[in-house]
Amino acid sequence: MAKRILVVEDNDLNRKLFCDVLKSQGYAVEPVADGREALDKAREFVPNLIIMDIQLPNISGLELIEAAKGDAVLRLIPVLAVTAYAGKGDEERIREAGAEGYLAKPVSIGPFMAAVRGLLGSVPA
């Protein structure tokens, strides 16, 4: 069975790109555009990895990561934070919130897939 990845990204183009790339590599992907739906969708879909945009409308990705890490069901799911907001100290703050991985936008496909594989293990199961 393919490993499952939840993609939380409000930008339509980025969300489609991430999903298309991941699907082409054999992953089962669930896109979420609204951060308010992310945790419910994660509990429903039970992903092996969550790719989380940090700048979301209505709720910050940081808050969602902290909430996921405090949730008994979601706590062990690794989170790859992806953000255009890559200033000094941001990566540290994002990792302190609980993200296991961090990529600054714009994201190149090579480093993106390397980060995904690193957090999931090298082969889709």
Topology at the third CATH level for domain 4-119? Rossmann fold (3.40.50)
Q: How far apart are CA 84 and CA 37, in angstroms?
A: 21
pTM, rounded to two decimals: 0.94
Q: Cα Rg for the chain, rounded, in angstroms?
A: 13
Residues in the chain: 125
Phi, psi for 61 (deg, rounded to 5)? -60, -35
Q: How far apart are CA 99 and CA 83, in angstroms?
A: 12
Q: Return the sign of the alpha-carbon dihedral for residues 87, 119, 25, 33.
A: negative
pLDDT by residue for the chain (125 residues), tens only, comes to 899 999 999 999 999 999 999 999 999 999 999 999 999 999 999 999 999 999 998 999 999 999 999 999 999 999 999 998 777 888 999 999 999 999 999 999 999 999 999 999 854 54
Domain residue extents for the chain: 4-119
